[in-house]
């Protein structure tokens, strides 16, 4: 972040026509945004929402309530504007892109070996990096990929430890037997790979997936482009965790849009040190929870940049 | 609410391209909105935000960090677009009205007698009622009035009991001595009036203020007009509590936009049975916390009305 812009934004915030601190978290959010944009009086005019889609070999282990075909079917739905993220990105004034990542070529089943080769991982990271619009002033990344809560749970367990049950949830709607099987699959996969995992990006290749790597690539590109990011759900945060585990502070340009109902999400947010803006029980992915938080950040920035100061308004100080 | 629209909205929600329940609270919010609008596939196109301003005789007891002149100064700031609510209503696409209620004639000091006569109370209720645009499809009411957290604390104590300290906070920024004095003032006022208070509207007259009565009038009008309401902070909720204490269910057409930092707010929301959409530490009033929640409701309704069904999208069900 730009320290001069941060200081100027903080000074301006202290002069606005409100009691000190009365806008609560909105004040720190707006100042944080000003710092990353290097603009003490910024605006948010061009948010970008990207949905990355990938397929997962681990579905062979029976870990999802929906079949893999749903990934490509939902991509078609995104393209015609029929999904939840279309509505929420539209309502928030965000442009939207859909990036399909080799849907007809799923990752390898990571209970048997690495999900991706190094070349596949780099290609997915690059696809994410290149998808970010350099003119965007806010980024939301979401995903679609049947089986990807299993990948996110395996990544979380590999990066942060604990029990497989701490990180494994019902995803799109598993029953108790399905959840027990999924938990066992996660434990088995991590037992296979953990001894040789060297860092977050290595974990990403072994236990992640193309859409998860692409999200990580997009978030890293946003950092370089000074584009603040709103984190979405469990899977997005698992992608972010791969970056943060590799380089501390790699998500300093990101805030948590929400805490969802998938049980591992709260644990990831805690490990990442991110307090969610919303807690509304979402568990859809696609970027929906992050898109829902765009207007909160817009509102925060509008207050910082648009409010009058006490002096301008002729209002008596407290 | 319209039971046919509720049932149709609920049925439609169950067919949308997402796992059941995956949009969490957004689903119930959208269905609730559809019921009150009697439209199973509604949209939110015309939100209205109204700020009511009033002055309070109880400021003579030294209960505020800011002088009474700030009320009229802030009204001028609202009119030129310089306040926080201007930015947040604008960002949410809401039209905005400012209604001043006899600012040069404060209410009586309610530690000495009733704040308002019956005629004054009715006039303020009517001003609120008449301010609601019948064409609005969502209503946010806010307030400005130096001293009005003291009135809200007194109303809360009178309506729900407990200790004065449970309901009394620092308002715009009292120090410890100021808070102790304010708590004592609230206790003394309620001790004076409680024995003769007959219902919520009677409490409103004795311990409220013109802007608080106007908010209650506007919320009652919205009910009649089938316009859903988003509740704002402690003072707005105290106004709502006067209605709900008089007639159970009087706030069924309202959701809680946020839980603020003023300590009595959480207690009021609990008594009203309202779970807040946001908890971001705001304590400004003006309608800011409610306006910040408008996009959440817009997003919820956009999903219900805009998403494709599984059949329309050709997506395989779970």
Contacts of A198 (CB under 8 A, 6+ apart): none
Q: In the prediction, which pLDDT does B60 show?
A: 97
Spatial separation of the C-alpha atoms in residues A2 and A40, rounded to whole Å: 9
Q: In the prediction, which pLDDT does B99 show?
A: 98
Interface contact flag, B91 A298, Cβ < 8 Å: yes
Tokens of A135: 């003119």
Give me the long-range contacts of B112-116 (CB less than 8 A, separation at least 24). B114/B193, B114/B205, B114/B206, B115/B56, B115/B57, B115/B58, B115/B151, B115/B205, B115/B206, B115/B207, B115/B208, B115/B209, B116/B205, B116/B206, B116/B208, B116/B209, B116/B210, B116/B213
Classified by CATH at the fold level, domain B3-41+304-313 comes out as 1.10.1610
Tell me: pLDDT of A155 over 90: yes
- Tell me, what DSSP letter sits at residue A230? E
Neighbours of B310 (CB within 10 A): 18
Tell me: pLDDT of B317 over 90: no
Strand order in the sheet with A254-256: A95-100, A47-53, A138-144, A229-231, A254-256
Neighbours of B177 (CB within 10 A): 9
Q: How far is CA A266 from CA A4, A12, A140, A240, in A?
A: 34, 34, 19, 14
Tokens of A115: 């999900």
Average pLDDT, chain A: 97
Nearest to A316 among B69, B261, B316 (CB): B69
Q: Which residue numbers of A are catalytic?
A: 286
Contacts of A25 in chain B (CB under 8 A): 280-281
- Tell me, what DSSP letter sits at residue B68? T
Spatial separation of the C-alpha atoms in residues A159 and A216, rounded to whole Å: 15
Q: In the prediction, which pLDDT does A162 show?
A: 97
The pLDDT tens digits of the residues spanning A37-64 come to 999 999 999 999 999 999 999 999 999 9
Interface contact flag, B282 A312, Cβ < 8 Å: no
Measured between CB atoms, does B12 come within 8 Å of chain A? no
Tokens of B25: 């609270």
Measured between CB atoms, does A303 come within 8 Å of chain B? yes
Nearest to B26 among A280, A298, A313 (CB): A280
Whole-number percent of chain A with pLDDT over 90: 97
B286 is catalytic: yes
Measured between CB atoms, does A75 come within 8 Å of chain B? no
| Closest to A52 measured CA to CA, from A103, A10, A91 | A103
In chain A, beta strands by DSSP E: 47-53, 95-100, 138-144, 229-231, 254-256
Nearest Cα residue in chain A from B284: A22
Restricting to A residues 219-238, those with a Cβ less than 8 Å away from any Cβ of B are: none
Contacts of B92 (CB under 8 A, 6+ apart): A295, A299, B47, B49, B291, B292, B294, B295, B298
Spatial separation of the C-alpha atoms in residues A186 and A172, rounded to whole Å: 16
Q: In the prediction, which pLDDT does A316 show?
A: 84
Q: In the prediction, which pLDDT does B297 show?
A: 98
Q: How far is CA B318 from CA A66, A67, B149, in A?
A: 5, 8, 51
Rg (CA), chain A: 20
Average pLDDT, chain B: 97
**The CATH number of the domain covering residues in A47-298:** 3.40.50.10210
ipTM surpassing 0.95, yes or no?
yes
Secondary structure class of A306 (helix, strand, coil): helix
Q: Annotate A246-267 with b (16+ C-beta within 10 A) or e (fewer).
A: beeebbebbbbbbbbbbbbbbb
Interface contact flag, A313 B73, Cβ < 8 Å: yes
Tell me: pLDDT of B58 over 60: yes
Contacts of B318 in chain A (CB under 8 A): 65-66, 172-173
Restricting to B residues 51-70, those with a Cβ less than 8 Å away from any Cβ of A are: 65-67, 69-70
A230 phi/psi in degrees, rounded to 5: -105, 120
Spatial separation of the C-alpha atoms in residues A202 and A47, rounded to whole Å: 30
How confident is residue B139, by pLDDT bands cut at 50, 70 and 90?
very high
Size of interface A-B (CB pairs under 8 A): 198
Conformation bin of residue A163: beta by default, left when phi > 0, alpha when psi is -120 to 50: beta
Please report which residue ranges of chain B form alpha helices under DSSP H: 3-13, 25-37, 69-79, 84-91, 118-131, 148-160, 164-167, 176-193, 200-207, 210-224, 234-246, 264-272, 288-306, 310-313
Measured between CB atoms, does B173 come within 8 Å of chain A? yes
Conformation bin of residue A95: beta by default, left when phi > 0, alpha when psi is -120 to 50: beta
The pLDDT tens digits of the residues spanning B112-132 come to 999 999 999 999 999 999 999
Tell me: pLDDT of B244 over 90: yes
Restricting to A residues 98-157, those with a Cβ less than 8 Å away from any Cβ of B are: none
Q: Which helix (H) or strand (E) holds B100?
A: strand B95-100
Tokens of A203: 């974990």
Measured between CB atoms, does A85 come within 8 Å of chain B? no
Interface contact flag, A74 B315, Cβ < 8 Å: yes
Measured between CB atoms, does B175 come within 8 Å of chain A? no
Measured between CB atoms, does A307 come within 8 Å of chain B? yes
Q: ∠ CA(A12), CA(B98), CA(B291), 5° rounding? A: 60
Contacts of B73 in chain A (CB under 8 A): 313-316
Residue with tokens 């009058």: A308
Tell me: pLDDT of A318 over 60: no
Secondary structure class of A275 (helix, strand, coil): coil
- Mean pLDDT, to the nearest integer, of B232-255? 98
A244 phi/psi in degrees, rounded to 5: -65, -30
Please tell me the distance in Å from B193's CA to the nearest CA on chain A. Answer: 30
A291, B54 Cβ separation under 8 angstroms: no
Q: In the prediction, which pLDDT does B292 show?
A: 98
Whole-number percent of chain A with pLDDT over 70: 99
- Mean pLDDT, to the nearest integer, of B158-166? 98
A217, A128 Cβ separation under 8 angstroms: yes
Interface contact flag, B18 A284, Cβ < 8 Å: yes
Q: In the prediction, which pLDDT does B262 show?
A: 95
Q: In the prediction, which pLDDT does B183 show?
A: 98
Spatial separation of the C-alpha atoms in residues A300 and A296, rounded to whole Å: 6
Measured between CB atoms, does B43 come within 8 Å of chain A? no
Spatial separation of the C-alpha atoms in residues A300 and A279, rounded to whole Å: 18
Q: Which of B118, B184, B286, B312 is catalytic?
A: B286
Q: In the prediction, which pLDDT does B316 show?
A: 84
Measured between CB atoms, does B86 come within 8 Å of chain A? yes
Contacts of A220 (CB under 8 A, 6+ apart): A125, A128, A129, A243, A250
Nearest to B312 among A69, A82, A280 (CB): A82
Interface contact flag, A313 B82, Cβ < 8 Å: yes
Extents of the domains making up chain A: 3-41+304-313, 47-298
Tell me: pLDDT of B243 over 60: yes
Please tell me the distance in Å from A258's CA to the nearest CA on chain B. Answer: 11
Contacts of A202 (CB under 8 A, 6+ apart): none
Strand order in the sheet with B254-256: B95-100, B47-53, B138-144, B229-231, B254-256
Residue with tokens 């409490």: B203
Nearest Cα residue in chain B from A19: B172
Tell me: pLDDT of A242 over 90: yes
Q: In the prediction, which pLDDT does A312 show?
A: 93
Contacts of B88 in chain A (CB under 8 A): 299, 302-303
Contacts of A312 in chain B (CB under 8 A): 82
**The CATH number of the domain covering residues in B47-297:** 3.40.50.10210
The pLDDT tens digits of the residues spanning B214-239 come to 999 999 999 999 999 999 999 999 99
Spatial separation of the C-alpha atoms in residues B111 and B62, rounded to whole Å: 12
Nearest to B292 among A76, A283, A296 (CB): A296
Residue with tokens 């991509």: A75
Nearest Cα residue in chain B from A28: B280
Nearest Cα residue in chain A from B305: A87
B57, B106 Cβ separation under 8 angstroms: yes
Tell me: pLDDT of B318 over 60: no
């Amino acid at each position: 972040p730009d320290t001069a812009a941060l200081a100027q934004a903080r000074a301006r915030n202290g002069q606005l026509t409100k009691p000190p601190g009365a806008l609560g978290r909105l004040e720190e959010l707006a100042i944080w945004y000003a710092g990353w944009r290097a603009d003490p009086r910024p605006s948010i005019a061009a948010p970008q929402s990207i949905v990355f889609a990938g397929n997962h070999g681990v579905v062979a282990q029976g870990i999802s309530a929906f079949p893999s075909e749903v990934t490509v079917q939902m991509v078609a739905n995104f393209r015609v504007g029929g999904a939840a993220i279309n509505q929420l990105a539209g309502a928030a004034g965000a442009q939207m892109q859909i990036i399909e990542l080799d849907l007809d070529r799923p990752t390898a089943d990571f209970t048997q070996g690495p999900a991706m080769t190094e070349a596949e991982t780099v290609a997915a990271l690059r696809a994410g990096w290149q998808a970010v619009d350099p003119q965007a002033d806010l980024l939301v990344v979401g995903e679609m990929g049947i089986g990807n809560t299993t990948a996110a749970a395996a990544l979380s367990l590999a990066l942060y430890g604990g029990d497989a049950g701490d990180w494994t949830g019902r995803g799109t709607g598993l029953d108790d037997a399905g959840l027990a099987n999924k938990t066992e699959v996660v434990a088995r996969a991590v037992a296979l790979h953990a001894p040789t995992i060297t860092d977050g990006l290595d974990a990403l290749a072994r236990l992640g997936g193309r859409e998860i790597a692409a999200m990580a690539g997009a978030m890293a590109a946003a950092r370089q482009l000074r584009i603040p990011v709103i984190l979405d759900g469990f899977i997005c945060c698992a992608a972010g965790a791969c970056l943060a585990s590799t380089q501390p502070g790699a998500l300093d340009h990101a805030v948590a849009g929400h805490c969802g109902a998938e049980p591992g999400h709260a644990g990831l947010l805690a490990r990442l040190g991110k307090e969610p803006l919303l807690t509304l029980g979402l568990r859809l992915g696609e970027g929906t929870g992050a898109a829902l938080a765009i207007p909160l950040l817009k509102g925060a920035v509008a207050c910082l940049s648009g409010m009058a100061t006490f002096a301008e308004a002729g209002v008596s100080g407290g």
